[in-house]
């Protein structure tokens, strides 16, 4: 990490080696995939309960929390981008403000979710649907996990700030602690103490609180961050505050589109029965693992682009595109080949229910296609986030959502669940294509 960080701080460097890029990216990849692996382990643990409704209930509960937390995902993304740019410009005051401004927002939104937990749950269950048994399990899971909302949002800010400053190993330690603790507690609570779905929920909330306490210790003690150098007037300074709010608004709208797609996807699967819902939930977990792996490369590119723009370094900016494209494609090829060869074994890890496995086996072809068509859009989102130009991300996702809705309308009536997955792959392809069209504008804006 020292090598990569040092190279990024040089304003006139002409290149960034593959080795330096990987030194930065690999901890971010590990950090990223630990999140979906956590969800995968939860699904696998619940999959040992001989009842498809348990898998479906946790899947619906996870969709609700993904909806809530993804809507606030800009807390991590924008924090990382603004912090990287402040460090590239060697602006220590703005680095601190890039941490404290979103911290306030995280607490406010977390408390807001807790206060409105019942309306959120009832509306979500109404929109998603599913059987009565699935809804009861989802409600039980939700009523426990909701109390961790302020903590998970605070962890977003902490992890984003550590990433933006280039302290990827510390951000990795924070996230790994949360997810490893969650995995261990889930296994113990469910398979040893037989607490069922409630055990999975309690494991999650305990790990979220632990991660925030650990992250706070790292930042306030190890990184010597202090409120003494920050005033309320600085936090409310109009120009940077308005810019942050605009970026967060656009990232929020981007997430609304993503969650609209995911919600429709899940609801369509739920309408086809518990087995289909469970099979789709397993494949979505596999998709999340792949998407977060790409996210590691995207986060590395985000940090590099942020520092390049903050320091006015055009060559470093162009190098970020090159490395992101090359390593993204390599990862996409390996992942597609892995699903093609070992897909059946991967699905069998998640559940022992024969009907669910057979349904999932039939759909693996779509998981093989996803990395190839989707990797570039995910990589570009990292680059645009590092540039804090979220308007293009928002517009490209809106266009991709229209493609998805058209595909759902055209193909689901005749091809059923395969039609849902075909629409999902088209959405991923459209996401990559449309965001690519905004790259020339980004370059002109930042390096005119």
Count of domains forming the chain:
1
- Write the DSSP string, 327-362: HHHHHHHHHHHHHHHHHHHHHHHH---HHHHHHHHH
Instruction: Judge contact between 76 and 152, C-beta under 8 A.
Output: no
d(CA 435, CA 384) in angstroms, rounded, equals 9
Handedness of CA 265, 300, 109, 196 (dihedral sign): positive
d(CA 74, CA 133) in angstroms, rounded, equals 34
d(CA 25, CA 297) in angstroms, rounded, equals 5
Distances (CA, A) of 42 to 197, 199, 204: 9, 10, 10
Confidence label for 435 from pLDDT (cuts 50, 70 and 90) = very high
d(CA 321, CA 304) in angstroms, rounded, equals 10
Confidence label for 401 from pLDDT (cuts 50, 70 and 90) = very high
d(CA 90, CA 21) in angstroms, rounded, equals 21
Give mean pLDDT, residues 7-26. 66
Q: What percent of the chain has pLDDT over 70?
A: 89
Q: Which residue has the higher pLDDT, 375 or 53?
A: 375
What is residue 12's predicted lDDT score, i.e. its pLDDT?
Answer: 40
Confidence label for 34 from pLDDT (cuts 50, 70 and 90) = low
286-290-291-297 Cα dihedral, nearest 10 degrees: 160
Residue 394 has pLDDT above 60, yes or no: yes
Residue 38 has pLDDT above 70, yes or no: no
Any idea what DSSP says for residue 148? G
What is residue 270's predicted lDDT score, i.e. its pLDDT?
Answer: 82
Of 131-135, 207-211, 341-345, 382-386, the range with the lowest mean pLDDT is 131-135
pLDDT in tens, 170-187: 888 888 888 889 889 988
Q: Which residue has the higher pLDDT, 50 or 244?
A: 244
What is residue 392's predicted lDDT score, i.e. its pLDDT?
Answer: 93
d(CA 168, CA 173) in angstroms, rounded, equals 8
Q: Which residue has the higher pLDDT, 123 or 11?
A: 123
Residue 431 has pLDDT above 50, yes or no: yes
Instruction: Judge contact between 321 and 304, C-beta under 8 A.
Output: no
Residue 10 has pLDDT above 50, yes or no: no
Residue 346 has pLDDT above 60, yes or no: yes
What is residue 224's predicted lDDT score, i.e. its pLDDT?
Answer: 62
Confidence label for 430 from pLDDT (cuts 50, 70 and 90) = very high
Instruction: Judge contact between 175 and 31, C-beta under 8 A.
Output: yes
Residue 9 has pLDDT above 60, yes or no: no
77-83-89-91 Cα dihedral, nearest 10 degrees: 160
Residue 198 has pLDDT above 80, yes or no: yes
- Write the DSSP string, 231-264: -HHHHT-HHHHHHHHHHHHHHHHHHHHHHHHHHH
Distances (CA, A) of 182 to 48, 66, 68, 159, 185: 17, 17, 19, 17, 5
Residue 25 has pLDDT above 70, yes or no: yes
What is residue 3's predicted lDDT score, i.e. its pLDDT?
Answer: 35
Give mean pLDDT, residues 253-273. 85
Residue 240 has pLDDT above 80, yes or no: no
User: Average pLDDT of the chain?
Assistant: 83
Confidence label for 422 from pLDDT (cuts 50, 70 and 90) = very high
Instruction: Judge contact between 150 and 111, C-beta under 8 A.
Output: yes
d(CA 101, CA 234) in angstroms, rounded, equals 10
User: Within 10 A of 14 (CB to CB), how many other CB atoms are there?
Assistant: 9
Query: pTM of the predicted model, to two decimals?
Result: 0.77
pLDDT in tens, 285-340: 888 888 878 888 888 898 899 888 888 888 889 998 999 999 999 999 999 999 99
Residues in the chain: 448
What is residue 379's predicted lDDT score, i.e. its pLDDT?
Answer: 93
Give mean pLDDT, residues 147-166. 88
d(CA 386, CA 271) in angstroms, rounded, equals 39
Residue 408 has pLDDT above 80, yes or no: yes
Residue 236: which domain range? 2-446
Give mean pLDDT, residues 407-424. 91
Any idea what DSSP says for residue 363? T
Give mean pLDDT, residues 204-222. 87
Residue 373 has pLDDT above 50, yes or no: yes
């Amino acid at each position: 990490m020292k090598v990569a960080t040092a190279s990024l701080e040089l304003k006139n460097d002409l290149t960034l080696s593959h080795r330096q890029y990987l030194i930065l990216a690999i901890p971010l990849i590990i950090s990223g995939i630990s999140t979906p692996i956590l969800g995968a382990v939860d699904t696998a643990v619940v999959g040992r309960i001989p009842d498809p409704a348990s898998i479906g209930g946790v899947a619906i509960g996870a969709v609700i929390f993904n909806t809530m937390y993804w809507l606030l995902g800009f807390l991590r993304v924008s924090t990382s981008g603004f912090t990287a740019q402040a460090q590239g410009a060697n602006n220590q005051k703005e680095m601190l403000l890039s941490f404290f401004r979103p911290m306030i927002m995280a607490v406010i939104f977390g408390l807001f979710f807790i206060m409105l937990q019942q309306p959120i749950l009832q509306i979500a269950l109404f929109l998603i649907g599913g059987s009565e048994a699935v809804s009861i399990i989802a409600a039980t899971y939700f009523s426990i996990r909701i109390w961790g909302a302020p903590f998970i949002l605070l962890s977003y800010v902490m992890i984003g700030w550590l990433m933006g400053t280039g302290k990827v190993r510390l951000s990795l330690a924070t996230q790994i602690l949360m997810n490893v603790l969650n995995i261990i507690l889930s296994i113990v609570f469910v398979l040893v103490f037989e607490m069922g779905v409630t055990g999975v929920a309690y494991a999650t909330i305990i790990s979220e609180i632990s991660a925030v306490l650990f992250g706070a210790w790292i930042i306030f003690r190890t990184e010597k961050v202090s409120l003494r150098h920050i005033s309320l007037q600085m936090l409310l300074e109009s120009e940077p505050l308005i810019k942050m709010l605009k970026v967060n608004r656009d990232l929020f709208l981007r997430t609304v589109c993503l969650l609209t797609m995911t919600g429709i996807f899940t609801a369509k699967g739920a309408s086809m029965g518990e087995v289909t819902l469970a099979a789709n939930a397993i494949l979505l977990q596999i998709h999340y693992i792949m998407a977060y792996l790409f996210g590691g490369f995207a986060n590395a590119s985000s940090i590099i682009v942020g520092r390049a723009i903050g320091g006015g370094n055009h060559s470093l900016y162009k190098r970020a595109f090159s490395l992101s494209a090359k390593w993204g494609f390599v990862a996409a090829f390996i992942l597609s080949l892995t699903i093609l060869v070992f897909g059946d074994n991967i699905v069998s890890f998640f559940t022992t229910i024969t009907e669910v496995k057979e349904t999932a086996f039939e759909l693996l072809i779509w998981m093989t296609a996803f990395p190839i068509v989707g990797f570039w859009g995910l990589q570009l989102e990292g680059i645009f986030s590092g540039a804090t130009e979220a308007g293009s991300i928002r517009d490209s996702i809106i266009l991709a959502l229209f493609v998805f809705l058209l595909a759902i309308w055209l193909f689901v009536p005749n091809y059923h669940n395969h039609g849902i997955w075909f629409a999902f792959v088209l959405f991923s392809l459209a996401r990559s294509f449309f965001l690519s069209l905004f790259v020339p504008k980004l370059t002109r804006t930042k390096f005119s």
